Amino acid sequence: MLIRIDFFLPAGDTKNEQTMKAIFFFVLFVLAASLCGFAMIYLMNRLGLFDKISRDTKLGGLIWKIYDPFRLCFNSVGLVLKTVSLSLVNHASFILCAFFVGKALEINLKLGSYFTVFPLINTVASLPITPGGLGTRDAACVFMLGVGSSPGHSCPAWGPFIVPDALAMSLSVSLFCAILFWGLVGGIVYIHYAYTMGKAGKPTPPPTDISKQ
């Protein structure tokens, strides 16, 4: 987003340009809130507060389930690097998938254009509003890919983004179907793994002293 700041912060004052600015600052807010949340969890971990909460509250088991992945990350820099790398590969693969599906639908956008708008589209779709981002992804996709068609805009960077609503919607629905399919495959693999490893229905209890983990 910072590389294409001219796209996300247009100089004009039309309705779509104002909407784009609002989306840009909303994403920055989500990023800042996430960083603050991680910092708070890290401080609570260092101060041993999770140990006290898990022992002294009835929600100790649930709190441990939420906290345990963060604990593993805090104690292993290598695990964090692997997780971030895998996440970047996953996002890049999804954008490449969107590019090739767009080619199949005869959407004339360059690969760089997909890398410009789809990180933001994915951010909107990840909001816990609808199942799997159904509807929110569609609206974001139609808006972002067709923003260049809006009358009165003065942003040169919006030039290529004149995809008709019907094509943008078709692209979004196709991507949702791909997510649904591979999510089903991943779910089957996970269920098989959990069953064979004997982990199904057996949550790991929190240790007596979390701060020493």
The number of folded domains in the chain is 1
Q: What is the pLDDT of residues 98-118, one digit of tens each?
A: 999 999 999 989 999 999 899
Please tell me which of 2-6, 23-27, 96-100 the model is most confident about, judged by mean pLDDT: 96-100
Distance between CA atoms of residues 132 and 135, nearest Å:
9
High-pLDDT (> 90) share of the chain, %: 23
Please tell me the predicted confidence (pLDDT) of residue 34: 84
Torsion sign over Cα 18, 21, 25, 27: positive
Q: What is the pLDDT of residues 147-204, one digit of tens each?
A: 888 777 777 777 788 899 999 999 999 999 998 898 899 899 888 887 887 654 455 5
How many angstroms from the chain centroid is the CA of residue 156?
A: 28
Distance between CA atoms of residues 23 and 125, nearest Å:
13
Beta-carbon count within 10 A of 88 CB: 10
Please determine, for residue 92, whether its predicted confidence score (pLDDT) is greater than 90. yes
Instruction: State pTM to two decimals.
Output: 0.74
Domain that holds residue 49: 5-212
The residue written with tokens 């910092």 in the block is 39
Rounded to a whole number of angstroms, the distance between the first and last alpha carbons of the chain is: 38
